[in-house]
Amino acid sequence: MVFDKKKWDKEYYQKNKEKIKAQKKEYRQKNKERINEYARKNYQENKERRKAQKKEYYQENIEKIKAQKKEYYQETIEERKEYARKNYQENIEKIKTQKKEYYQENKEKIKEYQEKNKERRKEYARKNYQENKERRKAQKKEYKQKIKESIYNHYSNGVIECACCGEKEIDFLSLDHIYNNGGKHRKKTGGSFRILLWAIKNNFPPIFQVLCMNCNFSKGKRGNNGKCIHQIRREEKEKRKQEENQP
Ligand SMILES: [Zn+2]
Ligand SMILES: [Zn+2]
């Protein structure tokens, strides 16, 4: 049989495991300083090389790394926003004081930086304003739509439609002054949306109804005496019916 050194080593290690470990530990304890010194020297000597390696790796994989970073950023965007919001709310006073202190301490530096980056800052502000303009517009529209809906809902008893013809498209509907004094009233409150706010503020007085634009317009037409043409026709029909029924 040939002597198998590897096998022998392995067996020896298994048999003397604890002893070997203890010896190693003891050696490390005794030579602590020397080992540390060696590690330090090794680190210093290879520092530049490792740095270069890292840089090279980064250069070679720049697209991949960027994509990963972007993906991570996108995936955690809501999480981070939520965290920032919560953190801000919880530490609002502390953050304000810190900001103030930081500004006072670095006033000159900040001013210098701002002056240096004037054009860039302007450009950023302009872009930011433009980007948020659309968002703000959409928010405003949504807010107005909600107010409108809740008021129409109240004045049409839960089913939003024209009180005269039954038109249901909210875009065609408006709040009508039942007693035809809208012009006078609007002069006091201001435009059509202000009337809505006025109605809320005054606890939904029973002076309004929901009408579509056609019925509203017809009702306001001179000669119709404050009645929509639908209403006039309905009354005419009713009258004829009564006349026919009379002997
Ligand atoms: Zn109508
Ligand atoms: Zn009508």
In-domain check, residue 70: no
In-domain check, residue 187: yes
Per-residue confidence band for 100, with pLDDT thresholds at 50, 70 and 90:
very high
Q: How far is the CA of 240 from the centre of ligand 1 (A)?
A: 23
Q: How far is the CA of 166 from the centre of ligand 1 (A)?
A: 6
Nearest ligand to residue 167 Cα = 1
Q: How far is the CA of 179 from the centre of ligand 2 (A)?
A: 15
Per-residue confidence band for 198, with pLDDT thresholds at 50, 70 and 90:
very high
In-domain check, residue 167: yes
* More confident of the two residues 18 and 3: 18
Task: Tell me how many domains the chain contains.
Answer: 1
Sign of the CA dihedral running 125, 126, 130, 131: negative
The first and second tokens of residue 233, run together, are 């026709």
Expressed as residue numbers, the domain containing 185 is 140-213
In-domain check, residue 149: yes
Q: Is the pLDDT of residue 137 over 70?
A: yes
In-domain check, residue 104: no
What distance in Å separates the CA atoms of residue 148 and residue 193, rounded to the nearest whole number?
8
In-domain check, residue 182: yes
What distance in Å separates the CA atoms of residue 176 and residue 220, rounded to the nearest whole number?
10
Confidence (pLDDT) at 246: 79
CB atoms within 10 A of CB 186: 15
In-domain check, residue 23: no
Q: How far is the CA of 170 from the centre of ligand 1 (A)?
A: 11
In-domain check, residue 239: no
What distance in Å separates the CA atoms of residue 4 and residue 20, rounded to the nearest whole number?
21
